[in-house]
Structure 1
Amino acid sequence: METNQDGVREHLLVVDVDEYGHNEAEAKIQVRDLVRESDKGVAILSKVNVDIPKGVIMGVIGPSGSGKSTMLRALNRLWEPPKATVFLDGEDICDLDVLGLRRKVGMLFQLPALFEGTVAENIRYGPQLRGKKLSDNEVYKLLALADLDSSLINTPGNELSVGQAQRVALARTLANEPEVLLLDEPTSALDPISTQNIEDVLVKLKKNRGMTMVMVSHSIKQIQRIADMVALLVNGEIVEVLKPDQLSEAKHPMAQRFLQLSS
């Protein structure tokens, strides 16, 4: 927490250096006073402030309509944030090439949206836009990274289960070699086994590649399983940032109520 000149506490995500080996200076993403209003002038996000350190999984939870997905979409300009509100490695993302930004900051949505064609064609899509043709061996490695069997390489996307399709969508995102993964309810449409498969992949990506992830989820148990830090978003504001095992210590009344009803 930091206190500004008016005595108002601002919530910034700062990880304990001793425990995680990170500090504020190593923030991968910084969000400063991010705001958004609806077309009718209603506040969707109200001065969101948060630091997301390199190599951690940050969970974002809160009541429906609190602005979680809106905040997530600002981080790779799926909606255009105001200048000087979102920074990647210290650079204002509004000054970056948007396609290059989205390669660095990949996103996985609630429902997998595969392109027409085979699994291999889906995975090759992003690199192909840059003039790079992935070999079969490179595709196999990406399938393995997403915990998928290599035999699926020539399977049409429309013949996959939802769980398989979501992991192909993840492999397609990883083909762009992102530094950050944004995850918007990525397992809410999946069965428990498929959910565990996705969670296992995410934890491995963090452990083996040091990937930074921001995950919106309605499942507090899921966030407690895989996140390093949790941001509680209520009415467009981050009201608390806690470690997963400290959620019961939340002090904000609406955050307390949400957590009690969700447990």
Structure 2
Amino acid sequence: MMTFSVKDLKMQFDGTTIFDHVTFTVQNDDWLTITGESGSGKSTLLRIIAGLVDATSGTITLDSKNQWDYDISTYRQDVSYAVQSAQLFGKTVRDNLDLPFQVRNQTPDVNRELTLLRAMDLPESFLDKDVHELSGGQRQRVGVARNLLFPPKVLLLDEISTGLDAETKKTIWALIQQMQDRYHFAILSVTHDGEEIKHANAIMTLEDGEATINERTN
């Protein structure tokens, strides 16, 4: 059983406390959605968890091992971070889907790449499509597919569907739910979308620097 824990996490910036005493634990199949007003620190919290920003104090552990005791590349493979506007690189979609294999010193598996493209309702021909020719929704689907080629232990989702049309949202969330059902990873998501919040089995609200968690039964 995978266990991911955040304990007494505190973040200050220029003398101002963004949040304090943030504590929670998630395990396989958990889905914790983080809500709160703009500026409450939701995205900052995810960036700290992703290993992109240092907290002022507190601890983060994955399977009882401190975040900073991991090789950072290994940690980021286990705790994968998807952002609002996917950052694609190189020339083609293939360049982006090959990357998760390359960082693991593996030969890219074209069949797996094509399977995820189809699941994202993108044609196989997109594998060699120039990334600069993609729409915003297409870029986001490729970015999320890249995160899911190797299912992590914890998937971080930072408002990944903001600005997308309803059909694209439905496609992305259906795949994420399907992959979680199959691979049993935990999800930490930030969203303002009421429909997306329904996916969660727990809601954490950041307000006035404090975190409140409510378990969901439906």
TM-score by length of 1: 0.77
More strand by share: 2
Match of 2:71 in 1: 97
1:201 aligns with 2:175: yes
For 1:156 and 1:67, the matched residues in 2 are separated by: 35
Q: CA deviation at 1:183?
A: 0.4
In percent, how many aligned pairs have the same letter? 30
- Say which one has the larger Rg: 1
> What is the SS of the residue equivalent to 2:195?
helix
Match of 2:97 in 1: 123
Match of 2:85 in 1: 111
Match of 1:227 in 2: 200
1:240 aligns with 2:213: yes
Match of 1:36 in 2: 11
1:161 to 116, 130, 135: 135
Match of 1:81 in 2: 55
> Where does structure 1 lack aligned partners over 5 or more consecutive residues?
1-25, 246-263
For 1:164 and 1:28, the matched residues in 2 are separated by: 33
> Where does structure 2 lack aligned partners over 5 or more consecutive residues?
none
Q: CA deviation at 1:52?
A: 1.4
Q: CA deviation at 1:218?
A: 1.3
For 2:207 and 2:71, the matched residues in 1 are separated by: 31
1:214 aligns with 2:191: no
Quote the RMSD (CA, aligned, Å).
1.9
Q: CA deviation at 1:91?
A: 1.2
Residues 209-258 of structure 1, C-alpha deviations (whole Å, 9 max, x = no match): 1121111001233212x11211111122212323175xxxxxxxxxxxxx
Q: Which runs of 4+ in 1 moved over 4 A?
A: none
Q: CA deviation at 1:147?
A: 4.3
For 1:191 and 1:197, the matched residues in 2 are separated by: 10
For 2:176 and 2:150, the matched residues in 1 are separated by: 16
Kept after mapping to 1: 8 A contact 2:151/2:185: no
- Give the number of aligned pairs: 218
Q: CA deviation at 1:51?
A: 1.3
Matched letter for residue 194 of structure 1? T
Q: CA deviation at 1:172?
A: 1.4
Matched letter for residue 31 of structure 1? V
Matched letter for residue 229 of structure 1? A
Match of 1:45 in 2: 19
Match of 1:58 in 2: 32
